[in-house]
Structure 1
Amino acid sequence: MNKNNSPYTAAITGCSFLYFEFKRILPMLMSPDAALLLKEEIEKNDILQINSLSSRKRFIVEFKRRFASVPLHFWQAWQGWSEEGQRIGLFYAILKTYKLVFDFHFNVAIKQWNSVDHQLNKSDIMMEFNEIAAHDEFVDSWSDNTKDRCASAYLTILRQSGLLTEKTNELQSVHPASSELEYYFRTGEEWFLDACFLYPYEINDIKAKLS
């Protein structure tokens, strides 16, 4: 299986969570003149304030992918949410953008959350990597360093979205306001509440508040 046939990419190694940077760029992404504004930002560096030209180019490419992974009305709602709601919303967009992150989360993190031990370590992710590589020649061709960086980037994404503690690597649920979770119910994306490590009774409570 070559790169073009594989649903996986290692792009998260060069652009992990970047909440503040994405938030600053979002108005440009939403503009009718997005292409021109983003091109100018790569050259002038007025908003991102990132010294490396290659990093700015890479971040903009990934920000565009994340932006396009969900409908415009999601981002319109996202702008009015709390930081907690925005961070978990950005995680939602990342799950929609990168199959690698989605598989790590649903095949490893959620299973770990539903077990007795809520600790998540890089070794747990690497076991899933081996499983993916066994069925995907492109992923199998990645170097050990690339795989290690992907696993580290996923853990960083979890920490910065609020789903993993900084020091102990313990999985934890997040509880944005019911109004901020309404989008996922209204659009048939209720599965994402499981991704936030909410228990079924909590999801039912939120649903009742919104009905």
Structure 2
Amino acid sequence: MKNINYSAKLTGESFLLYEFKIVANLKKEGFSDKEIRKRVLEENLFQYKFKSSISRRLSPLIKRVNSIDDNLINMLLEDPLGYGVIINLYTIMKNDKLFFEFMDEVIREKIEYNYGFIEKKDINVFFTSKAEQSEIVAGWSEQTIAKLKQVIFKILSEAGMIEDVKTGKLNKLLIPIELKEYLLSMGEKQYIKAMGEYIE
């Protein structure tokens, strides 16, 4: 995470689990990033109306897939016990410093201390503090920040961590033991903790 700068690229993304699996499957079949891009666009594998939407989402999805190994790709595609949701959330955190820090500093704390809800003020305070810490974040427009807040809530909602967007009711994700142990063996403790899992 230290080498990754803050970025507002999340505005063009979302949870995209269905699309993530399509890209992961092509990767498993041995296609290169360039070939994946070509196939998804030419065959409209995401079944989108507009090609521009596909192009915008392909790069982050390819990055996500490239940040996991073959074992995790297999777990994602077989998806026993909802592994896919956890793996997808993990790759979003791994590729986006801002999202990881939101999970680690806001969501983890809420789950650890049993505050069962997330409020608008929580996300506002988070962005204010990041703007004070980072010139990059301080330089973003109000529109960009509003969009990022919206996307973060949407991702958490689609991951099942926010049970109700209106009330902000939080759910603790159940991380299957095999997946948890595998991520721990890879030294990824920080990401598991950021999902609200208590680890000594």
- The TM-score bracket by the shorter chain reads 0.7 to 0.9
Partner amino acid, structure 2, of 1:171: L
Aligned equivalents of 2:78, 2:90: Cα separation in 1: 16
Deviation (angstroms), 1:85:
1.5
Deviation (angstroms), 1:173:
1.1
2:36 aligns with 37
1:84 aligns with 82
1:209 aligns with none
Q: CA RMSD in A?
A: 2.2
- Give ranges in structure 2 of 5+ residues lacking alignment: none
> SS state of the match for residue 142, structure 1?
coil
> SS state of the match for residue 78, structure 2?
coil
Equivalent residue runs for 1:12-91 within 5 Å? 12-34=10-32, 35-45=34-44, 47-82=45-80, 84-91=82-89
Equivalent residue runs for 1:34-183 within 5 Å? 34=32, 35-45=34-44, 47-82=45-80, 84-167=82-165, 168-183=167-182
Aligned equivalents of 2:81, 2:50: Cα separation in 1: 27
Partner amino acid, structure 1, of 2:168: N
Per-residue CA deviations over 1:59-98 (Å, capped at 9, x if unaligned) read 1111011112233332133222326221011101111010
Per-residue CA deviations over 1:125-184 (Å, capped at 9, x if unaligned) read 121111111122222111111101111111111111121212431222122432232311
Aligned equivalents of 1:109, 1:62: Cα separation in 2: 23
> SS state of the match for residue 79, structure 1?
helix
- Give ranges in structure 1 of 5+ residues lacking alignment: 205-211
Aligned residues: 196
- CA gap of 1:180–1:115, structure 2 versus 1, over 3 A, is closer
Deviation (angstroms), 1:121:
2.2
Aligned equivalents of 1:37, 1:70: Cα separation in 2: 16
Aligned equivalents of 2:81, 2:59: Cα separation in 1: 23
Aligned equivalents of 2:176, 2:134: Cα separation in 1: 39
Aligned equivalents of 1:133, 1:113: Cα separation in 2: 25
Tell whether the 8 Å contact from 1:28 to 1:38 is kept in structure 2 after alignment: no
Partner amino acid, structure 2, of 1:189: E
- CA gap of 1:81–1:40, structure 2 versus 1, over 3 A, is closer
Q: Which has the larger radius of gyration?
A: 1
Task: List structure 1 runs of 4+ shifted beyond 4 angstroms.
Answer: none
Aligned equivalents of 2:62, 2:101: Cα separation in 1: 22
- CA gap of 1:191–1:173, structure 2 versus 1, over 3 A, is same
Per-residue CA deviations over 1:169-209 (Å, capped at 9, x if unaligned) read 12221224322323113222233332332345xxx8xxxxx
Aligned equivalents of 2:81, 2:177: Cα separation in 1: 14
